Amino acid sequence: MRHAKLTAALAAACLSASAFSAPLLMEGKQSIYQRVLTTPACVLKKNAAAKSGEPVPALTRYYVYAREGDALKVGPDTSDKISGYIDSSCAVDWKEQTALLFTNPAGRTRTAIFEKQDNLQKLVDSKNSASEIKAVNAKLDKGSKVDGVIAREPETYVDYKKKFYLLPVLSSEETMFDDGTYTRELEVASVTQEGMKQGANSAADPSKIKAFKAALVFVIDSSISMQPYIDRTKQAIQGIYKKLEKAHLQNSVSFGLVSFRSSTKAVPGLEYVSKMFVNPGEAKSAEDFEKKLRNLSQAKVSSKLFDEDAYAGINTALNKVDWNDYGGRYIVLITDAGAISGSDKLSSTRLDSKQLRLEAEHQGAAIYALHLLTPSGEKAGDHDKAKAQYEDLTFNSVLQKPLYYPVEAGSVDSFGKMVDSLSSAIASQVKLASEGKLGAGSSTAQAPEDKQGQGSMDEDTRLLGNAMALAYLGRETGAAAPAFIRGWVSDRDLADHQKISATPVVLLTKSQLSDLKEVTSRVLEAANKGILSPDDMFSQLRSVAASMGRDPNALKQDKTLKLGQMGLLGEYLDDLPYKSRLQELDEETWSSMGPDEQNRAIEDLENKLVYYQQCNDDTDRWVKLAPDADAAESVYPIQLEALP
């Protein structure tokens, strides 16, 4: 009898397992399921034949379990939980789960969305695309219709963190402008949680700019030799505070100061790695600020390396300041040394310039670097390396240039004038805002250029101030992308092809990000061994792939077998519109790389691994695309350049 009961229990378990249904797989995939996004027209029905149903929030992502005629049987996740049925006509197929986010429109032409690819292609092929798109925008500004244009991005910046929206990418094609610049033409469907009329403008209400406030946080190196610059920075802040008080604007501009040094584990006498001396808003007057900085002075002992942990200072400024309180968001790095790289054992953050730049973009903050070209830095051979680090750290997507400003010979006088000028420019922006005015320049304004093709620091700050004002107005007025459209856009400005109009992201689920972390970690472990023996490295990677259930026949002993062909990085990366260095890597290529290049590749993986962990821990940035979906199905927007 006991045997009979056990047999019955096993039979029931097998029946239960066989009854479980998974979503439909995408064509040609073994692990990626079919997904759709709902539009405002969708209703959720109890069965395929029902004529009516409950409205579904726009932007809900569903997995497709069955296609029954014109109806889709859908669920919120892959757990066999069925929500109901929706009509296929109201849903948008979403394959790679990639999307575009508009960049800030300041300094570029607003993006037009074209009905057909041919409409866009004509402009891309044109020798006069700049004048033609300006003529299109001039008509749209007057409220006139333009053949082939179905919508346009809002005038003010749409902050997806405040008003989540997607431009899901349905298809893409790389092409070239007449001047040789590459661009991607992308078919997108604009779906927003709170839409507006198709093609309508979202004109900014300038009166709302009066409440605009700015925060300027100095991140200053306080190692030995930095005292003159510390004193001059204090002097500059004191001076601008007094000017603001005379203009009754002391509550509109807040200053902060972070000091950094280097590893206290290596040299305990340094006292701290990074320290917030003044958080913006804490000091209400020049005297108050002076009191809080009374104990700020250069270190009494030398650091172990010439480089300092500048990235720790930047990381403190990004994460310890509540940037949501401010429309203008500025960080100014001041140092005479390079930054300790994230892969160095003395790094406290394990992050590099790229990861910190991405975080600054997320916060809407601009990072400047005032690099003091002192004789000691020249003697140490540090200037060129530091310049490369800080140009990458400060690259600004609005201006499409780094906010890197060298101070020749480390002149204290020149440095002081630059700090004075920067502080005054930000104060002037706030003064205009207090009068209900936007800063000089519009979304189509161009920066006058000097002989080297670079605008001055003052001009950069003026244009950035306008960009931040547009972003602020967008948040305050609730600017939204168009409600639902399907059309074609270029990811570059049709007037100035060097400017990027939209940033591609991939929305990874928690499980996908976890897989990415795990695989990156295992590839990193193998790569470290591969410095000594490439054979061992790729043998280990084949074993990893086999342990993940990859086809043994595809893991042949071939020095030209690429990591992507091993299936290590997951199918969700295969069709993304980016080129992965890691997926293209094979044993032959790795062996041909020199030690320095191999080390750079390893350091890049180490930094990305830390970044993935930071993303995973950032609970505020995970987005749920279906109300009743499992938490593991929440997604995180990862920029393509952060992928391996």
For position 226, which CATH number holds? 3.40.50.410
For the ranges 302-306, 429-433, 543-547, 625-629, which has the lowest average pLDDT?
A: 543-547
Both 294 and 430 in a single domain? yes
User: pLDDT tens digit string along 409-423?
Assistant: 899 999 999 998 888
Contact 113, 82 (CB under 8 A): no
**Which has the higher per-residue pLDDT, 242 or 559?**
242
**For the chain, what is the largest distance between any 2 Cα atoms, rounded to a whole number of angstroms?**
96
Last residue of a domain, one of 93, 115, 146: 93
Q: What is the pLDDT of residue 284?
A: 81
Structure tokens that stand for 315 in this block? 């990381």
The answer to whether residue 473 is domain-embedded is: yes
Q: What is the pLDDT of residue 445?
A: 35
Residue 268 has pLDDT above 90, yes or no: yes
Angle at 470 between CA 352 and CA 428, to 5 degrees: 90
For the ranges 98-102, 212-216, 312-316, 479-483, which has the lowest average pLDDT?
A: 479-483
Mean local confidence (pLDDT), 572-586: 71
Mean local confidence (pLDDT), 82-99: 88
The answer to whether residue 596 is domain-embedded is: yes
Up-side HSE of residue 303: CA atoms within 13 Å toward CB? 27
Which residues, including other chains, have CB under 8 Å from residue 204's CB and lie 6 or more apart?
Answer: 155, 156, 438, 470, 473, 474, 477
Q: Give the highest mean pLDDT range of 91-95, 253-257, 299-303, 607-611.
A: 299-303
Virtual torsion, Cα 371, 375, 376, 381, nearest 10 deg: 80
For the ranges 239-243, 261-265, 364-368, 377-381, which has the lowest average pLDDT?
A: 239-243
Both 602 and 544 in a single domain? yes
Structure tokens that stand for 583 in this block? 């997926």
The answer to whether residue 439 is domain-embedded is: yes
Q: What is the pLDDT of residue 156?
A: 79
Q: What is the mean pLDDT of the chain?
A: 82
DSSP E strand stretches across 395-462: 395-396, 401-402, 404-407
User: pLDDT tens digit string along 203-223?
Assistant: 445 567 778 888 999 999 999
User: pLDDT tens digit string along 31-58?
Assistant: 889 999 888 788 999 999 998 899 887 7
Both 483 and 464 in a single domain? no
Confidence of residue 11 (pLDDT cuts 50, 70, 90): very low
For the ranges 59-73, 374-388, 617-631, which has the lowest average pLDDT?
A: 617-631
User: pLDDT tens digit string along 298-323?
Assistant: 999 999 999 999 999 999 999 999 99
Both 249 and 393 in a single domain? yes
Q: What is the percent of the chain where pLDDT is above 90?
A: 33
Residue 2 has pLDDT above 50, yes or no: no
The answer to whether residue 2 is domain-embedded is: no
The C-alpha atoms of residue 95 and residue 625 are separated, in whole angstroms, by: 15
Please count the structural domains in the chain. 4
Contact 195, 40 (CB under 8 A): yes
Both 67 and 117 in a single domain? no
Q: Give the highest mean pLDDT range of 388-397, 605-614, 633-642.
A: 388-397
Q: Which residue has the tokens 């952060």?
A: 642
Last residue of a domain, one of 432, 467, 500: 500
**Which has the higher per-residue pLDDT, 152 or 535?**
152
The answer to whether residue 42 is domain-embedded is: yes
Q: Give the highest mean pLDDT range of 136-145, 322-331, 501-510.
A: 322-331
Confidence of residue 578 (pLDDT cuts 50, 70, 90): low
User: pLDDT tens digit string along 486-539?
Assistant: 789 999 999 999 998 888 888 888 888 888 888 888 888 888 777 667 777 777
Contact 172, 97 (CB under 8 A): no
| Amino acid at site 324 | N
The C-alpha atoms of residue 615 and residue 638 are separated, in whole angstroms, by: 9
Contact 48, 34 (CB under 8 A): no
The answer to whether residue 395 is domain-embedded is: yes
Both 46 and 110 in a single domain? no
DSSP conformational letter for 340: P
Read off φ and ψ for residue 405, nearest 5 degrees: -130, 105
Partners of 330 in beta bridges: 216, 366
Q: What is the pLDDT of residue 567?
A: 67
The answer to whether residue 8 is domain-embedded is: no
Residue 484 has pLDDT above 70, yes or no: no
Domain limits at 574?
Answer: 516-642
DSSP conformational letter for 425: H
The C-alpha atoms of residue 530 and residue 524 are separated, in whole angstroms, by: 9
Both 338 and 439 in a single domain? yes
Q: Give the highest mean pLDDT range of 71-80, 144-153, 455-464.
A: 71-80
Contact 360, 366 (CB under 8 A): yes
Both 231 and 377 in a single domain? yes
Angle at 11 between CA 7 and CA 16, to 5 degrees: 150
Q: What is the pLDDT of residue 205?
A: 57
The C-alpha atoms of residue 278 and residue 282 are separated, in whole angstroms, by: 6
Both 39 and 177 in a single domain? no
Both 408 and 265 in a single domain? yes
Q: Which whole-number Å values give the CA distances from 146 to 121, 123, 187, 501, in the listed order?
A: 16, 14, 19, 20
Both 219 and 107 in a single domain? no
For position 59, which CATH number holds? 2.30.30
Both 222 and 327 in a single domain? yes
What's the pTM value of the predicted model, to 2 decimals? 0.64
| Amino acid at site 224 | I
The answer to whether residue 9 is domain-embedded is: no
| Amino acid at site 9 | A
Contact 441, 463 (CB under 8 A): yes
Virtual torsion, Cα 602, 607, 610, 615, nearest 10 deg: -130
Q: What is the pLDDT of residue 529?
A: 73
Q: What is the pLDDT of residue 163?
A: 66
The C-alpha atoms of residue 409 and residue 411 are separated, in whole angstroms, by: 5
